[in-house]
Amino acid sequence: MAAPSTIGACGCFRVTRAGAVAGEAMLRMRSVTRGTLSLDGQEWALTGNRTKKTFRGKRPGSVLELKITNRNLLKGTLDGTPVELARIVLRPIPADEWAQSDTAPPPAMQAILDATPDYRAEVGDTSTFWYHFGNVLYRGRLDGSARVLGIASDPGPTECLPFVRRTLVGDSGQKTQGFLAKLGLTHSYVLVNAFAVALHPGKVTKGLKVLRENLAIMQARHALYDGLLSTGGLQAIVAFGDNAHRAYDLWKASNPAVAGVPVVKLAHPAAVDRTGSGNDPALKGWARAVTKLRAIVMPDDMAAARGPNYGAFFTEVDYARVPRWDLPRQAPAYAGDDSWGRAASPRHNNCSERPSPDDTKSLLLTPAPGQGEFLRYRFQNGRYVGAKRRNGTAQATDAFGIPT
């Protein structure tokens, strides 16, 4: 079931009034019929009509009337003057942020990462994991400054791209970044996986057996988690999804110090408002966690930590772009920002996917408009080995898959 039009219209818009640029507006909806529109430091209380696809906004001495043309365009009047709202996607990255990137981990943490075993050799089959894509181990701070440790399940296609190689960067990652933003965290977090290699959904039972019983993989996983815990700065742990819950439980059983840090177990980001029906248990759990963690975790940005929690639906304003300091320098501007795909028709939430039929060695990349061409990346035994264009001809790239 698709979300109502009043919910789908949420987001950031460029505003023109009587044909002149009037700034940027943020449209939020707490429910199908109640929300706010913020513009130039002013806020209108909105009443939405899902049947008529309209909004009526009021503030002292001002009335706003809007009609949803489509989810990317709203038209109407503000105090009788024609007004138009056009959705903003791929917001420009500030120069000071663009100059930043993820630096090399501290030597002690790098040694832990390097000790992650070869999953294929350890598991002894060819079908439980997408072995060819290799290990994806973390995103965020490994230097002891993290106050929240997030544990996810396993890397998806976006995370495995040769210029990304970081945890939680695709659609689920941008949902998670929005969750962190509601806690006021812009830097002070670290995200890891239960599995370092992508797990086949049809092999969850086998994967969980590996999680529980493969000693080498378990020891490497716990060494990473222990290394992050040992700095003493963690104020909370968040486990996203069943695989992460079980990884956390195994870790806690192996290290008594884990119990000293508050933990919240949540649904995986992919399960949050999956059907668009609103008020689902997963989203409610995320909202409760925000309230709980705001009382525990010291924010980087106090104003953000006092901002709106989730409403009845997960909306566009609940996503957040993955910041440049979490990504390798070579990652293109659209990495970690699929706002353009979510605004597209048909909508698509990730810039990368596996081919169909799946050859277990390829990832398909669809860059943001104007930022490159479709590529089919090929991997072999955990390493990137080359790319092809849509017509099947070879595309020369650097070691990170960036066309040369």
Contact status, residue 379 vs residue 132, Cβ threshold 8 Å: yes
Q: Which residue has the tokens 């039929």?
A: 357
State the average pLDDT over residues 103-121: 96
Model confidence pLDDT, tens digit, residues 150-197: 999 999 999 999 999 999 999 999 999 999 999 999 999 999 999 999
Model confidence pLDDT, tens digit, residues 44-56: 999 999 999 999 9
State the average pLDDT over residues 242-253: 98
How far is Cα of residue 292 from the mean position of the Cα atoms in its chain? 21
Q: What is the pLDDT of residue 232?
A: 94
Cα gap 180→188, rounded to integer Å: 9
Order of all β-strands in the sheet with 138-140: 138-140, 189-193, 148-152, 236-240, 263-266
Short-list 130, 112, 131, CA closest to 121:
131
Q: What is the pLDDT of residue 394?
A: 98
Contact status, residue 179 vs residue 295, Cβ threshold 8 Å: no
Q: According to DSSP H, which parts of 49-170 are helical?
A: 95-98, 107-114, 119-123, 157-160
Helix H or strand E segment including 25: strand 20-29
Short-list 383, 388, 364, 372, CA closest to 332:
372
Instruction: Name 278's Cβ contacts closer than 8 Å, sequence gap at least 6.
Output: 3, 7, 31, 32, 312, 313
Q: What is the pLDDT of residue 337?
A: 98
Contact status, residue 147 vs residue 117, Cβ threshold 8 Å: no
| pTM score above 0.95 | yes
Cα gap 207→221, rounded to integer Å: 14
pLDDT at 385 over 90: yes
Contact status, residue 82 vs residue 17, Cβ threshold 8 Å: yes
In a 10 Å sphere around its CB, with 0-12 CB exposed, 13-18 middle and 19+ buried, how is residue 344 labelled?
Answer: middle
State the average pLDDT over residues 238-267: 98
pLDDT at 147 over 90: yes
Q: Which residue has the tokens 């695709």?
A: 170
Q: What is the pLDDT of residue 279?
A: 82
Model confidence pLDDT, tens digit, residues 4-31: 999 999 999 999 999 999 999 999 999 9
Model confidence pLDDT, tens digit, residues 165-178: 999 999 999 999 99
Model confidence pLDDT, tens digit, residues 55-80: 999 999 999 999 999 999 999 999 99
Model confidence pLDDT, tens digit, residues 271-326: 998 888 888 999 999 999 999 999 999 999 999 999 999 999 999 999 999 999 99
Model confidence pLDDT, tens digit, residues 361-381: 999 999 999 999 999 999 999
Cα gap 378→181, rounded to integer Å: 34
Q: Which residue has the tokens 């819950």?
A: 245
Cis peptide before 299 (omega within 30 of 0): no
- As separate numbers, helices (DSSP H) first and strands (DSSP E) second, the chain gives 12, 18
Cα gap 291→23, rounded to integer Å: 31
> What average pLDDT does the chain have?
97
pLDDT at 1 over 80: no
Contacts of 304-309 with CB under 8 Å at 24 or more apart are: 304/181, 304/182, 304/183, 304/184, 304/186, 305/182, 305/183, 305/184, 306/184, 307/182, 308/28, 308/30, 308/182, 309/182
Short-list 320, 323, 325, CA closest to 339:
320
